[in-house]
Amino acid sequence: PNRDRFVLSAGHASMLLYGLLHLSGYDLSLDDIKQFRQWESKTPGHPEVHMTPGVETTTGPLGQGISNAVGMALALKMQAARFNTAEEPLITARVFGIASDGDLMEGVSAEASSLAGHLGLDNLVFFYDDNKITIDGKTDIAFTEDVGARYQAYGWFVQHIDGHDHAAIEAALAAAVAEPARPSLIVARTHIGKGSPNKQDSSKAHGSPLGKDEVAATKANIGWDHPPFFIPERVQALFAARAEDGKKERAAWDQRLAAVKAAGGEVADRWRSMMEGELPQNLLAELVAAAPAKTAATRKQAGAVEQRAAALVPGLVGGSADLAGSNNTTIADGGEVQRNAFSGRNLHFGVREHGMGSIANGMALAGGFIPFTATFLVFSD
């Protein structure tokens, strides 16, 4: 539960993720990778949660990944507010990701990013792969705004780097992790198809294979003379060492969790009910009994059932798109979630229906919470 998450919002770059998951020791073999984009393979064209080990959320519909990541970061903040003590900080994880030009054109990413800035989700760090190329050509045929300035206006910490400068990447990551109050966007200027003699900085490098001849020319250009699927020993050793470090970190965290459970009390009880998914055996009967007469308006019935569910299920949280009073969604005595105040249960999504749905999906994937959302049907399109 306390692992850092990585979300490849630019899901069309899925092979990059699959290669790293294989190197990191996930149950993803080279044979699986060779089945890329084949029916029912573990390596679909875009990452799919529950299909590929290590994939945190399904991405490909652009804008959804970064929006899901906002939900994950929010859920981690809310988990920390419920489970962390001075002696045993159980939840310290962050969410990292990569977004593309297309991701940041989408309206849903604007909605979610705006709310992330408002809430000060400093545990969220995203790279923007600013290569200025889409399938139809250069981005300036439809997308010319200053994205960095827009994210600064949202309340994000924005840095600009050369996306091919490894030292700059490392320094920007360190600064983002050290940022105490804002989510981070690292605008990385890159060249799509870098190293390809004939397709670099071209839409031809976006969604189509380079082709046998161009692959050979690119490998010669960058000095890579190894056969396909070759992994140098030093790379394998580097990832193996990091895996051992991860095992030690996990063992230390398991000890912290065991200490919390052994101590008992409210935090331990809440962990079992939320993170381990315990639900009351009589939940359905309780909810049926809570429903008012059938003559009551649907929203009134839903509100009454929600109140009873909230009393029985501490992980139930949620809100509406600026319609809490009309949708009857406010959890009584639940408190609200705001910047630096994440112990509440009532979320104010603002008039952001699309972002609300994506954020709730990310919260559910993060674990511990059963998020609900509400609006009027006519506003849901």
Cα gap 138→16, rounded to integer Å? 23
Cα gap 2→317, rounded to integer Å? 20
Cα gap 239→218, rounded to integer Å? 26
364 CB-side CA count, 13 A: 14
Cα gap 95→124, rounded to integer Å? 5
Cα gap 179→177, rounded to integer Å? 6
Contacting residues for 49 by C-beta, under 8 A, at least 6 apart: 55, 56, 57, 58, 365
CA distances from 306 to 309, 332, 360 (A): 5, 10, 17
Q: Is-contact 218 196, C-beta < 8 A?
A: yes
Of 106, 214, 306, 353, which residue is the catalytic one?
Answer: 353
How long, in residues, is the chain?
381
Lookup: tokens for 64: 């959804």
- Amino acid identity of residue 66, one-letter, is I
Provide DSSP, 275-304. Answer: TS----TTHHHHHHHH---TTS-HHHHHHH
| Secondary structure (3-state) at 379 | helix
Residues pairing with 319 in the sheet: 347, 373
**Is 88 part of the annotated catalytic residue set?**
no
Cα gap 106→9, rounded to integer Å? 12
Residue 106 is classified by DSSP as: S
Q: Which residues are catalytic?
A: 353
